[in-house]
Amino acid sequence: MDYGKQGGPKLGRNAPRHSEHNAKGTEKNPYSKRESKAELLARMKKAAAQKDG
């Protein structure tokens, strides 16, 4: 018996369960904004300093 063919098709499961905190188009991550290398490094250093102490 082919158990994979039982029941109807399972449709509509392609939607995410929740929205991402850094999704494109949000206030934190706008579509057209692109960080420069210096801004990125400064942000990473600040986060590392906060994590250490």
46, part of any domain: yes
4, part of any domain: no
pLDDT at 12 (0 to 100): 74
31, part of any domain: yes
35, part of any domain: yes
Model confidence pLDDT, tens digit, residues 1-53: 677 777 777 777 787 788 888 788 888 778 877 778 998 899 999 999 998 87
Whole-model pTM? Answer: 0.40
- The residue segments making up the domain with residue 33 are 21-53
Spatial distance between the Cα atoms of 6 and 33, rounded to a whole number of angstroms: 49
Q: How many domains does the chain have?
A: 1
40, part of any domain: yes
9, part of any domain: no
